[in-house]
Amino acid sequence: MNAPDEDPPHLRTLRKLVNAMTVVFILGFITIVIVIVMQFTRGTTAAAGPELPPFTSLPDGETAQAVTYGKNWIAIVTIDDNGFERIRTYGLDGLPRQTIDIEHYE
């Protein structure tokens, strides 16, 4: 029979499983925190806006907010110093095609 101070085998096994589960949960929590911190720090370094194609240039005072590529065109969403937003489309040759002002309804 077991000594009075010794735990039964099934209780020792359960204790080992609970300890292993605790370690796994702690490692998972640390991993989630690291991923969240990496996502937030990555977002703050891109404050200058998206990278534009080398042949496009925006008017002074406008910064790019988004860039999308079509089959034969490129669209750039911009914002100027006064907060006005526009969509500027360019051909693949870099020549401007169209400018659309984005109206804000409040």
Dihedral (CA of 35, 36, 41, 47) sign: positive
Mark whether 70 and 43 lie in a shared domain: no
Range of the domain at 40: 8-47
Instruction: Answer yes or no: is 58 within a domain.
Output: no
Instruction: Answer yes or no: is 57 within a domain.
Output: no
Question: What does the DSSP 8-state code read for residue 71?
Answer: S
Instruction: Answer yes or no: is 83 within a domain.
Output: yes
Ordered alpha helix ranges (H), the chain: 9-45
Instruction: Answer yes or no: is 55 within a domain.
Output: no
Tokens 């703050």: give the residue: 44
Highest mean pLDDT among 30-34, 70-74, 83-87, 96-100: 30-34
Confidence of residue 35 (pLDDT cuts 50, 70, 90): very high
Q: At 40, is the secondary structure helix, strand, or coil?
A: helix
The count of structural domains within the chain is 2
Reported pTM: 0.51
Instruction: Answer yes or no: is 54 within a domain.
Output: no
67, 49 contact by CB (below 8 A) = no
Cβ–Cβ contacts within 10 Å for residue 62, how many? 18
